[in-house]
Amino acid sequence: MQPSALSTTRITARDDPARPGTGITTPLEHLMVLTKAELIGALQHETHVLLHLASKIDRTQLDYRPTARQRSTMELLRYLSLMGPLLTSACVTGTFDMAAWGAADESAKARDLDGTMAEIATHSASYAALLADVSDDDLRATISLFGNSGTRGAKLVSMVLSGCAAYRTQLFCYLKSCGREDLGSSNLWSGMDAPTPA
């Protein structure tokens, strides 16, 4: 039984210029980059890191924005409270629901910091539920979103997982700009404070 696939390009080793002269002609389309369980785990880790970083926010600095046209810290968190699950749903269904996005955005605007963090805390369960019935074939199927086509698995990685990592890194930069010089790689990548030196 093959593991769930998020890598779906049909190539063979002899087609790959990085493997010249190998004599290997076995199709590589089933050599998996990431299983579905690993994808869910990675998205849940993003939720953990985001909540950890959000816990470092000084509530007096929620209106901080690097430039006038960028999101404030609070606006960024509100966006992150809906982005991941709604884009996951779009990838699963193959359709972006603009009405659902608009309604979620309006709800997000009404939440304070505590309410926003509580909403983000639901994401771990949401990712597991949204992806529970997605099969290997579903992940290999081609969908079109925002004018671009690709496999469902690739879209989940490039749009959702990468998006979550990018935006929580933006939050990390906001925190550093607001004086949190104590934060470092452990906070950004592991969602934990660095161990205290012995």
**Token pair of 126 as six digits:** 């949401």
Least confident of 25-34, 129-138, 163-172: 25-34
User: In the prediction, which pLDDT does 1 show?
Assistant: 43
Tens digits of per-residue pLDDT, 39-89? 999 999 999 999 999 999 999 999 999 999 999 999 999 999 999 999 999
For 108, which DSSP code? H
For 72, which DSSP code? P
In the block, tokens 């997605």 appear at 134
Least confident of 17-21, 36-40, 107-111, 174-178: 17-21
Supply the mean pLDDT for the chain. Answer: 88
Instruction: Using DSSP bridges, classify how beta strands 148-151 and 142-145 pair: parallel, antiparallel or unpaired.
Output: antiparallel
User: In the prediction, which pLDDT does 128 show?
Assistant: 98
Whether residue 169 has pLDDT greater than 90:
yes
b/e map of 42-74 (b: 16 or more CB within 10 Å)? Answer: bbbbbbebbbbbbeebeeebbebeeeeeebebb
Q: Is 133 exposed, middle or buried (0-12, 13-18, 19+ CB in 10 A)?
A: exposed
The answer to whether the beta carbons of residues 140 and 153 sit under 8 Å apart is: yes
* Helix, strand or coil, per DSSP, at residue 150: strand
